[in-house]
Amino acid sequence: MFQMYGVWIIPAIILIIVLSALVSSIKIVNTGYLYVVERFGQYHKTLEPGWHFIIPFVDYVRRKISTKQQILDIQPQNVITKDNVKISIDNVIFYKVLNAKDAVYNIEDYKAGIIYSTITNMRNIVGEMSLDEVLSGRDRINSKLLEIIDDITDAYGIKILSVEIKNIIPPGEIQSAMEKQMRAERDKRASILQAEGLKQSEIARAEGEKQSKILQAEAEKEANIRHAEGLRESQLLEAEGKAKAIEIVAKAEADAIDKVNKAIIESGTNEVVIALKQVEALKEMANNPANKLILPNETLSSLGSIAAIGELLNKQNR
């Protein structure tokens, strides 16, 4: 019985080994990863995302490398500035693996290499700056660190994407002094803003009063001009009315005299009587300063009788 089953045990074991080898020879690399494969202890190739076959017991995966953007949070480090102030700085590094082979074979631990390079160069950079320069020069420090560390890690197949300083913490006494200074600066700015606001308010008020006075003066000027023009128009109209009335009255009186003269002439009345009547009428009209005399031609010709009246009177006196 044992002999009968023993014949099948060895082939079954061999089949299991073969199937296991076939399964282990199939490698599926997910997106965002690279597999570094060695053959007989030496680098053989890098597997990219997808299906791959390797030789069982000959090839094996040395390391799986992520090609995604990664973050290294560096713990706070004590550094000394150029003016001998001890401060604490912590950084965040954003990086990405570009060459899996270099990241595996050119350095034992590329993450540790990034951290130590960052700390060392940060101390060198900050040591050349004063505290005020450090506090106001974060971007400058970040740029220098990025340039230096990216150049160093290029040999590891690493690309440094960004270096950011999270916190800069000075000693307690300096922090207190800085807070006092900041409060003083805020109070100063608030006072300046308040004074500027009052100044602008006064300027606006004065400008408003000025414009109001200008508008009032212009309104009064316009009113005076309109009043004067109205008065002048009224006087002109009144004068024209009076002149027209005088002209109408004088014309009416002249017409009346003309009609009387015509009636006398037609009736054959003595010329001397006519002349005397005309003289009396002209005298009454001349005594009135409001009258305007308009004499017709007939009246002017009849005035020649006045000379005859004078001659008649002279003869009677003799």
pLDDT computed for residue 76 by the predictor? 92
pLDDT computed for residue 294 by the predictor? 54
Max CA separation in the chain (angstroms)? 212
DSSP notation for 250-275:
HHHHHHHHHHHHHHHHHHT--HHHHH
CB atoms within 10 A of CB 66: 13
Beta strands in 48-104 (DSSP E): 50-53, 59-66, 70-80, 86-97
Nearest to 159 by CA among 109, 112, 100: 100
Tens place of pLDDT per residue across the chain (318 aa)? 445 555 677 777 777 777 776 777 888 899 999 999 999 889 999 999 999 988 888 888 999 999 999 999 999 999 999 989 899 999 999 999 999 999 999 999 999 999 999 999 999 999 999 988 998 889 999 999 999 999 999 999 999 999 999 998 888 777 676 667 777 787 788 888 888 888 888 888 888 888 888 888 888 888 888 888 888 887 888 777 777 878 787 787 777 667 656 655 665 555 555 555 665 665 565 555 555 555 555 554 554 544 444 444 444 445
* Helix 138-153 and helix 110-127, axial crossing angle in degrees, nearest 10: 140
Which residues on neighbouring strands pair with residue 33, listed in sequence order?
66
CB 74 within 8 A of CB 91: yes
CB 165 within 8 A of CB 142: yes
What are the structural domain ranges in the chain?
2-66, 70-170, 243-317
CB 95 within 8 A of CB 69: yes
pLDDT computed for residue 316 by the predictor? 44
Structure tokens at 137: 């020069």
Q: Which CATH class is domain 70-170?
A: alpha beta
**Nearest-angstrom CA–CA distance, 158 and 150:** 8
Half-sphere exposure of 179 (CA within 13 A, CB side): 8
pLDDT computed for residue 27 by the predictor? 87
pLDDT computed for residue 191 by the predictor? 83
